[in-house]
Amino acid sequence: DAKTTQPNSMESNEEEPVHLPCNHSTISGTDYIHWYRQLPSQGPEYVIHGLTSNVNNRMASLAIAEDRKSSTLILHRATLRDAAVYYCILLNSGYALNFGKGTSLLVTP
């Protein structure tokens, strides 16, 4: 299985950018890199995904390393509502898709 590695927790100040790293050194060429977040007492929520190129949407940016062995989720201005557990996963048919424990982001005012 292609696996991902993320820090257990990170902390950020409100209105500052946040860079959440993810390592996926065993990624295969057809794996999509997805990011989800989970707020307390809710199901996970889609944030962004990409294959090879950097991606931007209204929620965040995804920077993918040239060798695709790592990626970084960028929240441009963290708000208190961004406090959540962030999961980096690889999606492709045939894989067991375990989210792991993700990175718990704490945002302080």
95, two tokens: 């894989």
- Nearest approach in angstroms of CB 82 to other proteins is 18
* Main-chain dihedrals φ then ψ at residue 80, nearest 5 degrees: -60, -30
Helix (H, G, I), strand (E, B) or coil at 24: coil
**99 to 12, 14, 52, 77, 106: CA distances (angstroms):** 23, 26, 20, 25, 19
91 forms part of the interface with other proteins (CB under 8 A): yes
**Segment near other proteins (CB under 8 A); pick from 18-26, 64-72, 73-81, 94-102:** 94-102
Question: Which of 4, 78, 87, 88 lies at the binding interface for other proteins (CB under 8 A)?
Answer: 87
**Segment near other proteins (CB under 8 A); pick from 11-19, 20-28, 32-40, 72-80:** 32-40
Question: Which of 8, 43, 53, 58 lies at the binding interface for other proteins (CB under 8 A)?
Answer: 43
CA-CA distance, 53 to 74, in Å (whole number)? Answer: 14
CA-CA distance, 39 to 29, in Å (whole number)? Answer: 31
Q: Which of residues 45-84 bind other proteins (CB under 8 A)?
A: 45-46, 49
Contacts with other proteins, residue ranges (CB under 8 A): 30-32, 34, 36, 38, 42-46, 49, 87, 90-102
